[in-house]
Structure formats: C-alpha cells, structure tokens
Structure 1
Amino acid sequence: MERVQKDGGLVAAGVLLGVGLGGFVDGIVFHQILQWHNMLSSILPPTNLRDMKVNMVFDGVFHAVTWVTTAIGLGLLWRGFKEDTAPRSTPTFVGALSLGWGLFNFVEGLIDHQLFGIHHVKPGPNELAWDIGFLVSGLVLGGLGWLLIRMGRRALSTSRTRSSST
C-alpha cells in the first residue's frame, strides 16, 4: 500500500523556520550590526546606560522568542522526516521559508513600526519610507513563498500521478 505524503508538516516547519530566520536577520543586522534600532528604541531611546540595558534585555527576549520559534520549526521538520510524512520538495520548503520570513517582516512591521510605534527600521529622515520598505519586503517574500509552495505542490502531484500510473 502506497503511503500518501502531504506537505502540511513541511510547510508548517518551513514557515516557523522562516519566521525564526527573519527574526534573526532583523535582530542581528538592524539591532546589532547597523544599530539602527532596538526593540523599545522609540519609546525608550537608548541615550544612557540604564535605557541601553533595558533595550538590550528586550532585544534578548526578542532573540529568545526567535530561537524558540526556530527550534519548534526544526522539531517539526525532524518529526516529518523521521516519520516519513514530509515530502522532499525543495520548492515547497524554500517557499515555506520565504513565506515565514515575509510573515515576520509584515507582521512585525505592521505591529511594532506602525501600530505601536515601539521602534522603526531606521529612525529619522525617511523613517516612514524605511518602514514601508520593510512591509513591502514582507509582501514580496510572502508572495514569492506562496508561488514556490504552489510550484512544489504541482510538481509533487505530477510525480505522484506518474508513479501511480506505472
């Protein structure tokens, strides 16, 4: 009896890993390397040592949540491969990663930058343009991910049809 594989577990794992990777890139690049903002930099500007430490703690909490999200994604991926329920589809997996990263950028940009204003991508001149660019990057990554997932599903469906007809 042929075991029918579905890609839901692969997509869920990929989306969680994409959210985690997007969070790590945001934290490492924007918070640490470029030092454009911290988690609370718009409501508690890090202009003295105490406020810098508070921002650093919230950046750490952000990274901890990002790490947990990534670990859960890895766990789902491992379980799917171990139980042989996750298809080996590169377009589906890469698409799910991209979709997750896009979701991170869009949701984080919408909530933290626009709704609550706790920080902005690059405060100062052209602040809104940077924030909108971050939102657009989320939509582009999410759209690309969705297209890749569809491509992977089509390819998987075609290969199943071919293998069942032989």
Structure 2
Amino acid sequence: MNNSEELSNPSTSNLATPGEYRPLIIAGLVLGLGQGGFFDGIIFHQLLQWHHMFSSLTTDMTVAGMEINTLGDGLFHLADWLLTLTGIFLLWRAGTRAKVAHSGQAFFGALLMGAGLFNLVEGVIDHHILGIHHLKPGPHQLLWDLGFLGSGVLLLVIGWVLIESARKAS
C-alpha cells in the first residue's frame, strides 16, 4: 500500500491505537523510578536529613559512619541517574516511532506510577526486609515507613487512572 492509500484510508493511517501507548508508558515508568529515587535522596537524605542509605546499619555520627552512608547515598544516586538516562533513551526511542501515541496524560500517569513503584519496592526491601534504614527513624518509624508505602500505592493508583483515562479518550 502506498502513502496516498494510507492517508485516504483511516484504518491504515498512522493514528495511534490504545495499545500503542506501551513504549511511552514504559519510558515513563523507568523515568518515574529514577525521579522517585532522586526525590527520596534529595528530600529525605539531604534536605531533611532523616536518614541515609545505611543509617540503620552504622551511625552517621562518626566520620567512618558518615563515609559509609555517603558512599551508600552516592551509589543510590548513581542508580537513580542510570534509570533516568535509560528512561530518557526509551522516551526518545518512543518519540521516533510513528505509531506510538503521544499523550501527556498517559506519560504523566506513567511517571507517577514509576515513582509509586519506587516507593513500594524501595520501602519494602530497604525499610522492611533488609532494615538498612527507615524513612524517619525513632518514635513511630513504622508509621512513617507505612506512610511511605501508602504514598507509593496512591501514586500507582493515580497514575493508572490517568493512563486508563487517556486510553479511553483515544
């Protein structure tokens, strides 16, 4: 089929169908994971200084303890950076494909889902399974950790609603 036939026949045009959001959603999820990690590291590790990567394993009140925690935070940020670079590459690749839908709503929903997924995975593994740190150590640390998990669920739900709404609108 030639280009003039594709343009005259809407069923074969380059218009995206709902299933063609997948590359955009995957890029958004990966970017959301990286950005969720950066948010955690910048806000909770650096600005609020509630915890560091290994603060439940070694104190940050000694030079040696702070060095280990700073190394952990650096490795954590390196992983966030690699996820972000991967997400940018995936977004660029999705943007070069003619049949991929371009929806800000679906992309933002995927970003939120990625950030929520970050909170759930990091919260379950680091706070509960490994116990290497808690969101806010001290009194009520379990509530803070559960709140972190709850924020992850909320971000996942909001993101999913946005993506589904975009799919229905297309």
Which TM-score applies when normalising by structure 1?
0.91
Pair 1:112-2:126 in alignment: yes
Amino acid aligned to 1:129: L
Out of 38, 46, 60, the position equivalent to 2:60 is: 46
Pair 1:129-2:143 in alignment: yes
Distance 2:133 2:107 in 1: 31
Report if aligned partners of 1:40, 1:58 keep a CA contact under 8 Å in 2: yes
Alpha-carbon spacing, 1:85–1:54, altered in 2? closer, same or farther (3 Å): farther
Report if aligned partners of 1:77, 1:86 keep a CA contact under 8 Å in 2: no
Structure showing greater radius of gyration is 2
More moved, 134-143 vs 88-97: 88-97
Aligned residues: 156
Give the Å deviation of 1:62.
Answer: 0.4
Pair 1:33-2:64 in alignment: no
Distance 1:42 1:29 in 2: 18
> Which position in structure 1 is the counterpart of 2:34?
20
Instruction: List aligned pairs for 1:15-94, cutoff 5 A.
Output: 15-94=29-108
Report if aligned partners of 1:9, 1:85 keep a CA contact under 8 Å in 2: no
Q: Secondary structure at the match of 1:53?
A: helix
Which TM-score applies when normalising by structure 2?
0.89
Q: Aligned-residue CA RMSD in angstroms?
A: 1.0
More moved, 27-36 vs 1-10: 1-10
Distance 1:7 1:14 in 2: 10
Report if aligned partners of 1:37, 1:119 keep a CA contact under 8 Å in 2: yes
1:40-87 Cα shifts (integer Å, max 9, x gaps):
000112120011011101100100000000111110111111233431
More moved, 79-88 vs 138-147: 79-88
Amino acid aligned to 2:76: F
